[in-house]
Structure 1
């Protein structure tokens, strides 16, 4: 069995502030550098950036050899202890990242070790290069990777697309051997005490709260009362209002074409995902759970009328260049009605499917409360909890949706694509774009056949352009 060493780091200039990560994969036997990855990720905290670095390193190692044994070395005691299973992951921004990292390799193939910061210089340097690139309005490129002081100047640099760990793993073979972190024997450095890490975690929680801003305040228990209905995908970590009801519309105002202040660099045309929730089905007005694990209802007559109305609205706007739909019947039917009006083809993407609600499929919220109260309470309180009968947790859904988002943003760079999907995927995309915690999903109203939109820029930042627009449904 092959053995790899993965070293990863992340940083934030401000915590929260402009953040980036770096990761390197080495051959454990020879010390040869096999791959490098780095990326500027916009505004984030130190710990989130560190988790992103870990994930990139694991993915790069997996691209090299999925059957390899992996030894992860990081100077973040918090990440190492949490990924080793010795400390509980409490913060909602880190849980999905940790879940995603654990899914890259089987657990018995990965070991974790804390190392002092001076032994993690290679990954630290890459993270800083990524942040430097972000400050200049662009992403890190392997050509920017500077040779370490003890690396011969003639050592070739790795090549590959910016920040693409898989491509780097395939091409970056030639340079930067063990000497990048080696050097004169250093005095052993003790790992941080648990009390210090607790303090760090508290500071990180405050920083994350700053990133989320005014996002989710309130009582989850109140959200779980009778108002949480429209389980028909409104069960979005629990949606607290009935998405079937109209909310104030966002209109069709045009927002600035670049994120942030007017002095921001020109990042080119973004990939814009226009998010359309499918029209009503017979289960929608009954407020029943309708995910991807039970029956697959078609649109009702009201739902088909909604689809025709949104098709006319999108035709007037004239901005949609492609259509991608969830594989479920209600989304494909909605998408085909819109596509016929716009003269476009519908592509199907499995990652856009609704959450699997297990044994709750077809039940009302009240029925679930009566039959499975303990499971429901756990599900309302913890994004990693699954519905009764082995459904899908919201943490698992978030991992799936994030991967699907990344694929679609890459495929439709500079274009506007309509995604016809469900409440859970749409709310998750919006939550991730805002950097908001899972509980923010309680605070979102999302009506049947509503439109939302998110633009994704080359620097990794996202701009929410529209939310729950239902103006096209009014007579």
Structure 2
């Protein structure tokens, strides 16, 4: 973000895996001009490669610098590959790294200036130690002087430590389910990309299966009111719906690698019940999975909004670039959701991930997956605790397996 101040910081980032691919983790620190630590970030990534972990460390460090309002960032890493690729001197040949590089480039564009410098590994000890800590904690090893790992889009699964370089994060498929043809576009990058079109049943090799779950019912859901950033809890019926959704998710897969959730309690509670059904696996909160900000319309019905803001409502319905008064546009929501999907697909190849979110984010994921027009957003209805399933491939292929399943709610 470009700001009026001129805060200059240094980001040191690292990441690695045990096995390459194998259990992986990342770490990043933000330093001021005197070398004092301003922020630390670390997290586990499940099974992936060193290079993916290194990019995740860079992304976490850039996000932390943005949180501090920095205008200029000096990035230091011991990954020659990441430094040279982000500097534009090396091509990004590995398709699994391209979405991560694109996400990092989007963050870079938000600062006035960013430089990239390679440093020897012995000069990157802080970030390396954080990456190791995240991996060790995920593996259940005791950690001294514990630093709380960041639980973001790139966190989750079991951890790892630095080991060598290179490699692809793709592996054999662990997802299950009936086959479907893949076509259309991928929502895993900032711009959807074309994918091979075929009626043939696709192989699940390297596919990431997303089980999309809308949270259970709340008091506002019952009344048909705009419910965006307001942190309302599940009602009793919503609790029952969430438990039923947990059973449906278990019916799709008993081998879920991660459960990720919007930070709002109606989602985190739904996610907790799903995670409990999977053997009490951790729930990772991802801030960007939050609902659209409906601004001045929060808590109102459609009729109330139409009566008070008729012109603004018409413009909002006509364009995804228009936001409610003091709110957020669907276009802005789509941008952050695509970033989440890119991170999940890179972090969990050949895995099943449950995504617990809200109407707008899930609709936008399905819109991209089906290559649908913007009219789709106003024609698709998603029930509370409804379940949808989408498979993503590294080559951009997508298979939409189901949309808004509700049989488990009857």
TM-score w.r.t. structure 1 length? Answer: 0.48
**1:419 pairs with 2:355:** yes
**1:406 pairs with 2:342:** yes
The one of 328, 338, 361 equivalent to 2:274 is: 338
Structure 2 residues not aligned, in runs of 5+: 1-83, 116-164, 170-175, 184-196
8 Å CA contact 2:179, 2:202 repeated in 1: no
Structure 1 residues not aligned, in runs of 5+: 1-26, 42-51, 70-158, 164-251
8 Å CA contact 1:320, 1:418 repeated in 2: no
| 1:374 aligned partner | 311
| 1:59 aligned partner | 105
**Cα separation, partners in 2 of 1:441 and 1:258, compared to 1, 3 Å:** closer
The one of 368, 391, 396 equivalent to 1:455 is: 391
Which secondary structure does the structure 2 equivalent of 1:273 belong to? strand
Bigger-Rg structure (1/2): 1
**1:36 pairs with 2:91:** yes
Alpha-carbon offset, residue 160 of structure 1: 6.6
The separation in 2 between residues aligned to 1:379 and 1:61, in whole angstroms, is: 27
Alpha-carbon offset, residue 357 of structure 1: 0.4
The separation in 2 between residues aligned to 1:461 and 1:254, in whole angstroms, is: 16
Structure 1 residue ranges (4+ consecutive) displaced by more than 6 angstroms after TM superposition: 38-41, 159-163
The one of 366, 377, 381 equivalent to 1:445 is: 381
Alpha-carbon offset, residue 257 of structure 1: 8.1
**1:279 pairs with 2:216:** yes
Which secondary structure does the structure 2 equivalent of 1:268 belong to? coil
Which secondary structure does the structure 2 equivalent of 1:272 belong to? strand
**Cα separation, partners in 2 of 1:60 and 1:160, compared to 1, 3 Å:** farther
Show the 5 A alignment for 1:15-34: 34=89
| 2:207 aligned partner | 270
Which secondary structure does the structure 2 equivalent of 1:347 belong to? strand
The one of 286, 310, 332 equivalent to 2:245 is: 310
**Cα separation, partners in 2 of 1:62 and 1:36, compared to 1, 3 Å:** farther
Alpha-carbon offset, residue 460 of structure 1: 1.6
TM-score w.r.t. structure 2 length? Answer: 0.55
**Cα separation, partners in 2 of 1:458 and 1:368, compared to 1, 3 Å:** same
Please report the RMSD computed on the Cα atoms of aligned residues, expressed in angstroms: 3.6
8 Å CA contact 1:297, 1:330 repeated in 2: yes
| 2:285 aligned partner | 348
Alpha-carbon offset, residue 253 of structure 1: 7.3
The separation in 2 between residues aligned to 1:61 and 1:471, in whole angstroms, is: 41
| 2:369 aligned partner | 433
| 2:178 aligned partner | 254
| 1:386 aligned partner | 323
